[in-house]
Amino acid sequence: MRRRLLLLVASTVSLALVAFLVPLALLTRTLAADRATADALVRAQSLVPVVASGDQDSLELAVQQTHNMTIFLTGGTRLGTPVPKSNAVRLAFTGKSLTARAPGGREIVVAVEGGSTGRAVIRAFVTDADLTNGVGRAWLILGLVGVGLLAISLLVADRLARAQVRLIGGVAQVSHELAAGDLSARAPAAGPDEIREVATALNRLAGRIRVLLAQEREAVADLSHQLRTPLTVLRLEVDALPDSEQTERVNAALESTERMVTQVIKEARRSRQDSKGECDAYRVVSERLAHWSMLARDQERPVTDKIVAAPLPIGLPEQAMLICVDALLENVFAHTREGTGFDVRLRHRQGGGAVLEVTDQGPGFAQDDPGRRGVSGGSSTGLGLDIVRRAAERSGGSLELSSAAGGGARVVVELGPPSR
């Protein structure tokens, strides 16, 4: 935009300067020629009394004191600068005074009547150099003035363009901050009316988005809170069961569900900036894999795990990582038959963080984009992989879905390191 404004100003000012300076330059040349012609005419007319008096000595003395002056007398006598008789001189002998173009300049002829010498003609010659004397210097001054005016106009236009571009850039920066999740960013309402109107509209939009997100979070929190009632009833039912290994597994699953509901409520009621945290991926994955392994034994599912036995700090809160791991393993149980095995791998990520890979021996993904929110090839909600994707992106990582070597599903989750 700044370059376009400068180009517009440069073209406009250039056209104005051309329209002003070209006629002025032509007028300067015309005035210089007229001034030289008028000076030569004055010098020629100053000799008219001398020529009319007929005094030969005075006439020769006057001619010697002039430059480029010739006096033609009747009978062919010439005094002064020796030049041939031109058509203008011949015409002047008929009694007409005139100015005519001659080779190398301009000649001014003045007819003189009477006197002892009879009719005479005074010829003054003005060279081309005299006709254009001072024109080059005047044109140089006009050119410098034009360049100076153009430079000043571009400087002023650049300052104005910088100010406008800076204001527009500020509005654009605020829009990028809003897109990045900083809903507190606001654009300054300054500058021209149009930019102020855009900034005001953007600020109003940001405020409206913040209100809508707050309402959505509260709605999610309310819905999640409503799940506590059936969970409480289920808790009472589990407590009434006799102690057994199966009761312990149900009790553990119920506790996990309660933790998830609590985490959903907390996550819904805090902003993006407040949701940052970190945890040890090794510890969370090990704990959740131990929990799901018990259910896998009941369904006769072979489980293979290759987990790096070392702390793996990641930029994700513990509860969010727990939900992520549960969503991945739950997908295996929900979308494969009993007896289908799966493999869980956890390793270091280049640059920090961790890489979690879950591979099953099932039929694989039935749809084109299983990671898209709400898309599911089974009877589930289709939110599991979307939750995993958002958790990975939240930590600075990514989600990759592909087919395993044996035809099953392969999910690779890259989790970024904690932010410092």
Task: Compute the distance between CA of residue 102 and CA of residue 130 in angstroms, rounded to an integer.
Answer: 14
Task: Compute the distance between CA of residue 73 and CA of residue 123 in angstroms, rounded to an integer.
Answer: 11
CA-closest candidate to residue 319, choices 278, 350, 373, 358: 278
Q: What is the pLDDT along the chain (420 residues), one digit of tens a residue?
A: 778 888 888 888 888 888 988 999 999 999 999 999 999 898 888 888 888 777 777 777 877 777 888 888 877 778 888 888 889 988 888 888 899 998 889 999 998 886 666 788 888 999 999 899 989 999 999 999 999 999 999 898 888 888 888 888 888 888 888 887 787 888 888 878 888 888 899 889 888 888 887 777 777 666 665 676 677 767 777 777 787 777 777 777 777 777 766 666 666 555 544 456 889 999 999 998 998 888 888 888 999 999 988 899 999 888 888 888 988 988 888 888 888 999 999 999 998 999 999 999 888 776 555 545 444 444 444 457 888 888 898 888 999 998 887 778 999 999 999 876
Helix segments in 120-227, DSSP class H: 128-131, 135-179, 193-226
Residue 161 structure tokens: 């363009």
- Are 410 and 344 in contact by the 8 Å Cβ rule? The answer is no
Give residue 346's Cα distance to chain centre.
Answer: 43
Amino acid residing at 392? A
* pLDDT attached to residue 370: 55
Amino acid residing at 118? G
Q: Walk me through the domains of the chain, giving residue ranges and CATH numbers.
A: 2-136 (3.30.450.160), 277-415 (3.30.565.10)
* pLDDT attached to residue 363: 83
* pLDDT attached to residue 279: 92
* pLDDT attached to residue 359: 93
- Are 284 and 318 in contact by the 8 Å Cβ rule? The answer is yes
* pLDDT attached to residue 152: 92
* pLDDT attached to residue 140: 92
Task: Compute the distance between CA of residue 136 and CA of residue 285 in angstroms, rounded to an integer.
Answer: 88
